Amino acid sequence: MSRGATPRPPFWLVAPATLVAGATVLPLVYLVLRTLEAGPAAWHLLLRPRTATVVVNSLLLAAAVTVAAVAIGVPLAWLTTRSDLPFRRVWAVLTLMPLVIPSYVGSFAIVSAFGPRGILQKWLEPLFGVERLPEIYGFFGAWLTLTLFTYPYVLLSVRGMLLRMDPDLEAAARSLGWGPVATFFRVTLPLLRPAILAGGLLVAMYVLSDFGAVTMLQYETFTRAIYVQYQASLDRALAASLSLVLVAITTLLLVGESYLRGRARYARVGTGVGRPVTVVRLGRWRWAALAFCGLVVCLALVVPVAVVVHWLVRGLAAGEPLQLVWRPLLNSVTVSAAAAGVSVAAALPIALLSVRYQGRLARFLEKAVYLGHALPGIVVALSLVFFGIRYATPLYQTTALLVLAYVVLFLPQAVGAVQASLRQVNPHLEEAARTLGRRPLEVVREVTGPLVLPGLFAGFALVFLTAMKELPATLLLSPIGFKTLATQVWSATAEAFFARAAAPMLVLILASGLSLALVLEREPSLGRTGRSAATWRRPEWTEPELTPPGPTG
Q: How far is the CB of 463 from other proteins (least distance, A)?
A: 10
For other proteins, the binding residues in 207-236 under the rule CB under 8 A are 215-216, 218, 228, 230-236
Query: Between residue 328 and residue 357, which ones bind other proteins under the rule CB under 8 A?
Result: 331, 334-335, 337-342, 344-345
**Site membership for other proteins, residue 482 (CB under 8 A):** yes
**Residues 128-167 within binding reach of other proteins (CB under 8 A):** 132, 137
Q: Which is nearer to other proteins, 45 or 85 (CB)?
A: 45
To other proteins, the closest distance from the beta carbon of 221 in angstroms equals 13
Residue ranges in 269-325 assigned as alpha helix (H): 285-297, 303-317
Residues 162, 157: Cα–Cα separation, whole Å: 9
3-state secondary structure of 280: strand
Q: Which is nearer to other proteins, 180 or 315 (CB)?
A: 315
Nearer CB in complex with other proteins: 4/134: 134
Q: Which is nearer to other proteins, 65 or 340 (CB)?
A: 340
Minimum CB separation of residue 293 from other proteins in Å reads: 29
| Residue 83, SS3 per DSSP | strand
Write out the binding residues for other proteins, residues 360-379 only, by CB under 8 A: 378
> Packing angle between helix 399-423 and helix 360-370, nearest 10 degrees?
130
Q: Both ends of the chain: CA-CA distance in Å?
A: 5
Candidate residues 126, 177, 481, 553; the one interacting with other proteins per rule CB under 8 A: 481
Q: How far is the CB of 107 from other proteins (least distance, A)?
A: 9
> CB-hemisphere CA count at 13 Å for 272?
25
Among 60, 67, 279, 475, binds other proteins (CB under 8 A): 475
- By the rule CB under 8 A, 263 interacts with other proteins: no
Whole-number Å distance between alpha carbons of 520 and 92: 9
Q: Residue 455 in contact with residue 423, Cβ under 8 Å?
A: no
Show contacts with other proteins in window 40-59 (CB under 8 A). 50
Q: Specify whether the CB–CB gap between 385 and 478 falls below 8 A.
A: no
Q: Quick check: 394 binds other proteins (CB under 8 A)?
A: yes
Instruction: Please select the residue that binds other proteins; options are 128, 393, 437, 551, rule is CB under 8 A.
Output: 393
Q: How far is the C-alpha of 511 from the C-alpha of 489, rounded, in Å?
A: 14
Closest separation in Å from C-beta 129 to other proteins: 14
Q: Quick one: 202 or 216, whose CB is closer to other proteins? A: 216
- With CB under 8 A as the contact rule, the residue among 118, 141, 167, 199 that binds other proteins is 118
Contact 455/419 with Cβ under 8 angstroms?
Answer: yes
Cα–Cα nearest to 113, from 255, 243, 377, 303: 303
User: Footprint of other proteins on residues 76-115 (CB under 8 A)?
Assistant: 111, 115
User: Is 320:499 a contact under the CB 8 Å cutoff?
Assistant: yes
How many residues bind to other proteins according to rule CB under 8 A?
85
Dist CA 396 CA 378 (whole Å): 16
Instruction: Pick one of 69, 198, 347, 403: the residue that binds other proteins (CB under 8 A).
Output: 403
Residue 1 Cβ, how far from other proteins at the closest point, in Å? 26
Cβ-contact 471, 405 below 8 angstroms: no
Nearer to other proteins, 26 or 289 (CB): 26
Q: Which residue in 189, 191, 282, 453 binds other proteins (CB under 8 A)?
A: 453
Question: Which region, judged by CB under 8 A, interacts with other proteins, from 241-249, 298-306, 310-318, 425-433?
Answer: 310-318
Between CA 28 and CA 91 the distance in angstroms is 40
Among the listed residues 200, 498, 503, 507, the single contact to other proteins using CB under 8 A: 498
Quote the CA–CA distance of 180 and 114 in Å, as a whole number. Answer: 38
Q: Which is nearer to other proteins, 299 or 340 (CB)?
A: 340
- Name 55's Cβ contacts closer than 8 Å, sequence gap at least 6: 222, 245, 249
The length of the chain is 553
**Site membership for other proteins, residue 460 (CB under 8 A):** yes
Q: Which of 308, 362, 422, 492 binds other proteins (CB under 8 A)?
A: 492
Residues 175-204 that bind other proteins (CB under 8 A): none
Asked whether position 491 contacts other proteins by CB under 8 A, the answer is yes
Q: Does 273 engage in binding with other proteins (CB under 8 A)? A: no
Please report whether residue 545 would count as binding other proteins according to CB under 8 A. no
Longest dimension (CA), the chain: 78
Categorise residue 234: left if φ over 0, alpha if ψ from -120 to 50, beta otherwise: left
Alpha-carbon distance 208 to 448, whole Å?
A: 33
Residue span binding other proteins (CB under 8 A) among the ranges 89-97, 141-149, 399-407, 507-515: 399-407
Compute and round to an integer the Cα radius of gyration of the chain: 24
Which of 6, 53 has the CB closer to other proteins? 53
| Minimum distance of other proteins from residue 76's CB (angstroms) | 26
Cα angle 401, 450, 460 (rounded to 5 degrees) comes to 30
Query: 397: phi > 0 → left, psi -120 to 50 → alpha, else beta; which?
Result: left
Contacting residue, 332, 487, 525, 532, with other proteins by CB under 8 A: 487
Counting Cα atoms < 13 Å in the Cβ hemisphere of 541 gives 27
Q: How far is the CB of 64 from other proteins (least distance, A)?
A: 21
Q: What is the smallest separation between the CB atom of 549 and other proteins, expressed in angstroms? A: 19
Of the candidate residues 3, 281, 314, 528, the single one contacting other proteins (CB under 8 A):
314
Span near other proteins by CB under 8 A; candidates 8-16, 277-285, 415-423, 539-547: 539-547
The residue among 5 and 543 lying less far from other proteins, judged by its C-beta, is 543
- Integer Cα distance of 353 and 361 in angstroms: 9
Phi-psi region of 410 (alpha: psi -120 to 50; beta: other; left: phi over 0): alpha
Task: Report, in Å, the least distance between residue 124 CB and other proteins.
Answer: 14
DSSP summary character for residue 424: T
CB of 490 to other proteins, least distance (A): 8
